[in-house]
Chains A and B, each alone.
Chain A
Amino acid sequence: MVSILEVSRVSKVYTSGSRTVSVLEDISFSVRPGEKMAIVGPSGSGKTTLLGLCAGLDQVTEGNVTLIDKSLNNITQDERAQIRNEYVGFIFQNFQLIPTLTALENVMIPLELQESKEAKAIGRELLDRVGLSHRLNHYPSQLSGGEQQRVSLARAFSNNPKVLFADEPTGNLDDETSEKVENLLFDLNREHGTALIIVTHDMELARKTDRIIKLKGGKIVSDQFTENASTLTNI
């Protein structure tokens, strides 16, 4: 497998009544297995839209997105959901934990969807890994922001994803907690060999990845490897 994600000449246009807004225009890039990539750019540049398209949460207007050799064009919502469940992990700025499920239950969801019998054991193990073995049965409302994001991290890695999408993963956290979560994210990424695509404003975080794609006005204005890129060859 040369690339795990192939984005080819993708455009996205939203229509509202008689008005059309072009959010992304002619975007192309590919991501290799284990690669850490950041998508940066000012607000409204189309970062989150691009993330949604890459993860199969939305459909392109033009072009093609291929994830793990599977084209995300012309397949149903449920088929895309199946691909996400098998190969994709997510981390969100606002954590997106299910408020009515405990920390452990939240982590178990992707595995339970796969009907894995190991869901509980893996869930416990991952929560232990992120330092929350004492918070297994707590509800999200009983956890701090940093703890919630760590549960989110555990959930994101629970299905051993090939690619992990993170949308401003530290945007809601203080500096100290951000650093802890970042370290955990990269450690887990390394341990699982997962490709990582981070959407962020935080250049410091972006610089910790192998490659930075800059977006402006819906177009790629630069696509550069960082000094960390050399480590990629070691994977």
Chain B
Amino acid sequence: MINFILRTAWRDSRKNRGRLFLFISSILLGIAALVAINSFNYNLKNDIDKQAATLLGADIIVSSRTSIPTNLLDQIDSLPGEKAQARELLSMAYFPDQDESVFVNIKAISGNFPFYGKLNVEPEINRNKYKEGRFVLIGQSLMDQINIQPGEVVRLGDLDFEVVGALLTDFGGNMTSGFAPPIYLDGKFLDQTGLVQPGSLITRKHYHKVPSNFDPDLWADTHDEMFRREGTQIETVRDRKVALKDAFSGLNSFLNLVALVSLLLGCLGVASSVLIYVKSKVASIAVFRCLGMSGRSAFLIYFLQVGVLGFLATCIGAILGSAVQLVLPLVLKDFLPFDVVLNISWRALWEGLIIGFVITTLFALIPLISIRNVSPLRTLRASFNESKKKLNIVTVLLYFLIVLFLFIFLFFLTDGIESAAYFTLGLIVSFGVLYGVSSFIIFFIKKYFPRNWNFVFRQGLSNLFRPNNQTRTLLISIGLGTAVLTTLFIVQGLILNSVAQMDAGNQPNMILFGIEDGQQAGVKNITREMDMPVIQHVPVVTMKLESWNGRTKGEWLADTTSGVEAWAANRESRVTYRDSLDISEKLVAGNFIGRRDNPSDSVFISLDEGFADALKVDLGDELIFNVQGVRLPTYVSSFREIDFRNMQARFFIVFPEGVLEDAPKFHVLVTKSPDSKTTGAFRSQIGRTFPNVSVIDLGMILQSLGDILRKVSYVVKFMALFSILTGLIVLISSLFLSKLQRIKESVLLRTIGASRKQIFRIVATEYLILGILSAATGIVIAIVGSYLVAKYQLELDFFVPWLQIGLVFLFVCGLVTAIGILNSRDVVNRTPLEVLRQEVG
């Protein structure tokens, strides 16, 4: 019997193969996306494994934002092998040739770092020249941004350096562009620049290359807790691999989600195409059944056809995906710390093939199982309908398997049962909403059908609910595609807007820090001379939290049940003192005490409520700080809620006046520049006069953020293209199928005298309404979805970019109508008999 089934499946497919393949090919792009993304991911992970040592540049790195205690330094010094050090400092760099001051990340290197790999420098010959004197390497993005040429000069604090090369990629896998581009110089010059002041935020790094018989991970594991207690990190190649993989896991998850959406749209296409295909085969199946074929054999014939073509589409998709991964690194190059070596990932290929085959089969089976129940009675009465059982156990099982498959796929994607469950639920709800909306629309049009309107319009409208309509399939596929695209536009707009709003009205847009006591007046004068307001001017004192509520920081952190968070305990506290709350603050508990009048009185401080929660302290608790060697007991008198949206200096800890006035400190000044020209002039003036003072302006942050968002959105759009293309194939095949459904009717209309124009209008009406309904539903889902994301995830003010959404709406409606009309052109361009013979025969 199997031979007969195989033969019949082959014979019966002859006249439909091309058409059936087109329908099933909607799965092709989904699989292509999946394989491309997974191939890229696996190659990336492989390269991370191979290149982690060269990215780290050493076997062990010990780093700290504060000065490392002597006992730890002894431990570090006792490590065998080669040593090197670096100090990193955020500061201003002044370029006299350009008269520009730029906020940079200065990296002062001492010793023969890197031990592994090499700096990627242009010209290559000058790679190590920065170690030979007052020379620097500068990040390529900064070189391009203000047009710096090798040989030009940069002033860092009190010293001038010659620029000898451009740094193409930084060590540690960081980008050279962004907020603070790197500048490499030899370590011995940093102190001479005068930029290192009390309170300067300096990261110290100790690099070690250990002998091959020394296990760096064992050393790290043994010392990790001791170092961590002092706010010092140990990193080895192993940790870097984990960190890099973690850093890319977000990107991977996003890319995989794109693949999932494409895959689901593809599956929807497969299910709807197979459904229509099966419907077109019912008459033949009834004949087979009449001639004595069992329901199982009939099912197997069509299952084989769909399965083989599905597998073929999956294979082509997998091959296409392997080819597309060659393009991905070009798209993602700004996010990659190194060149990813591109190989065919057999693992990704196999996974793609298996997933593709399983998912195609599951979705195709839903319509295919109905074949078993086709009655031979249809040979005698074409109108005969099999009685439908209310609950078909096989169908229920299939739906269950689909949901289970989705869940498992999402579990591997998100690496968590809870997230996988939420995502699965979210997808089911989205499908449910689209299905519900389409059902409602069908019901609504049927119920309130405009019977008095003209024939052409009524005919087009009635196609939406008549038997074999494509309303549900198209609404779900086009609606989902539109929803993805629109959500992207809205969320991107919200993020950019929230940053841009920081510059609106009288909001500050420039912040100066590192101002010494003696420089306060000078800086204020320059600010006022340029007609800029001094919005905020606060002193900053650096101190460390030593103990609270009778236990030292080390004891708190050693107690894993305390719930104290390491970031809060270890941070070097930069505190201010003042007599009142700031405008960006709100008192949420206790009393704010603004002044200590008597030196013998207790010191009452105010904490940010989140910071207090991280330390597990309450009102009245005792905190002891170490203010540059002096122990200072304090008591918590109030909690504040801080609004972080404005560009201001904000402080987790606020002291009252009358305590810290004599402590070593620096000052922060916040102002508002009216335009970019003034900003440039102000930055240059400050850079020339007070080289140790750093100026950060919002424009710079906006530019960096804008650059990053542009790159992200480019990647998102490129990947969304997969979803859109898949949606388009589903759309084209669905419309093509619906054309087949309507062809007899159109031919009949033509035969009894309908003009080409009338047929066109009927078709245009149907597809225009479908486009409008699908696009509108997708947009509504996107608006609701992005509102929820904005409110609960991003905590941003919500607004809708109507112009962009309007364009998406017009694009979708136009596309659906155009494809609908194109699909129907042969019905009107040929004679009815010709069409009937070809399509129906």
Contacts and interface: CB of A to CB of B under 8 A. Distances in A.
Contact of B296 (A55, A78, A97, A98): A78
A81 B380 contact: no
A57 B292 contact: no
B15 A78 contact: no
Interface in B249-306: 283-284, 286-297
A100 B291 contact: no
Contacts of B377: 52, 57-58
B1 A81 contact: no
B292 A85 contact: yes
A98 B283 CA distance: 8
Residue from the set A55, A113, A139 with the largest chain B CB neighbour count within 10 Å: A113
B284 A57 contact: no
Contacts, number: 97
A57 B288 contact: no
Contacts of A81: 289, 292-295, 376
B10 to A, nearest CB: 10
Interface in A76-114: 77-78, 81-86, 88, 90, 92, 96-102, 105, 109-110, 112-113
B517 to A, nearest CB: 92
Please provide the 4 A-B residue pairs with the shortest distance between their CB atoms, ordered closest to farther.
A85-B292, A141-B841, A78-B294, A84-B292
25 contacts: A51-B380, A52-B380, A77-B295, A77-B375, A78-B296, A81-B376, A83-B292, A84-B376, A85-B292, A88-B292, A90-B290, A92-B380, A96-B283, A96-B287, A98-B287, A99-B284, A100-B12, A101-B8, A109-B291, A110-B292, A113-B1, A115-B1, A115-B4, A139-B841, A141-B841
Interface string A114-158: 010000000000000000000000011110000000000001000
A25 B376 CA distance: 23
Contacts of A178: none
A172 interface: no
Interface residues of A, number: 37
Nearest to B15: A100
A171 to B, nearest CB: 12
Contact of B290 (A78, A96, A101, A105): A96
Contacts of A61: none
Contact of A105 (B11, B286, B294, B837): B11
A84 B841 contact: no
A112 B12 contact: no
Contacts of A51: 380
A57 B15 contact: no
Interface of B: 1, 3-4, 7-8, 11-16, 283-284, 286-297, 375-377, 379-381, 837, 840-841
Main secondary structure of the interface of A (DSSP, over half): helix
A29 B659 CA distance: 117
Contacts of B291: 84-85, 90, 109-110, 113, 155
Given A57-B379, A100-B12, A115-B1, A109 B288 contact: yes
Contacts of A57: 290, 375-377, 379-380
Main secondary structure of the interface of B (DSSP, over half): helix
Interface in A23-55: 48, 51-52, 55
Given A90-B379, A92-B380, A113-B4, A99 B841 contact: yes
B8 A84 contact: no
A78 B291 CA distance: 11
Contacts of A102: 11
Contacts of B286: 96
A210 interface: no
A101 B11 contact: yes
A100 B16 contact: yes
A108 to B, nearest CB: 9
Given A52-B380, A57-B379, 12 more contacts: A48-B381, A77-B295, A82-B292, A83-B292, A85-B292, A96-B283, A99-B284, A100-B13, A101-B11, A109-B293, A141-B841, A159-B292
Nearest to B3: A115
Contacts of A86: 292
A140 B841 contact: yes
Contacts of A82: 292, 294
B380 A139 contact: no
Contacts of A96: 283, 286-287, 290, 379
Nearest to B838: A141
A25 B379 CA distance: 23
Nearest to A119: B4
A98 B14 contact: no
Given A81-B293, A115-B1, A167 B8 contact: no
Nearest to A116: B4
Contacts of B15: 99-100, 139
Contacts of B284: 98-100
Contacts of A139: 15, 841
